[in-house]
Amino acid sequence: MEISQRVSQLLDDAIQVQASDIYFLPDGDRYMIKIRHQNTVTIWDQMDYPPARRMMNYCKYIADMALSEQ
C-alpha cells in the first residue's frame, strides 16, 4: 500500500472515532502509531522506521509544514 493510502486510512480511522490526537512514537527501530480518543490512547499500527518516517513527512507535506522540522 502506498504511503498516501496509509495516511488516508489513518486519518479516516481517526475521524471515525473522533480522535483528538495522532502520535508517532519511536519504539526501538520501529514506530508505534497511536490514536487518542475519549481520553484513551490505542495502538493503530507499528511500522519500521523508513515507512513511518515517510508517513510523517507526507503528513507534513499535506499540512504545508516544513519537512525539515523534526
From edge to edge, which strands make up the β-sheet containing 40-48?
Answer: 21-27, 30-37, 40-48
For residue 28, tell me if it sits in a domain: yes
Hey, is 51 helix, strand or coil? helix
53 domain residue, yes or no: yes
Query: Is 30 domain-assigned?
Result: yes
pLDDT for residue 25: 97
User: What pLDDT, on a 0 to 100 scale, did the predictor assign at position 65?
Assistant: 84
CB-based contact 19:39 (threshold 8 Å):
no
Under the banding of pLDDT at 50, 70 and 90, the label for residue 50 is very high
Q: Which domain holds residue 35?
A: 3-60
Answer whether residue 1 shows pLDDT above 80.
no
Give the long-range contacts of residues 44-48, CB within 8 A, separation 24 or more: 44/10, 44/13, 45/10
39 assigned to some structural domain: yes
In the prediction, which pLDDT does 64 show?
Answer: 86
We report the CATH number of the domain holding residue 18 as 3.30.450.90
Mean pLDDT of 39-50: 96
Question: Is residue 68 very low, low, confident or very high in pLDDT (cuts 50, 70, 90)?
Answer: confident
Task: Report residue 54 as a C-alpha cell.
Answer: 515517510
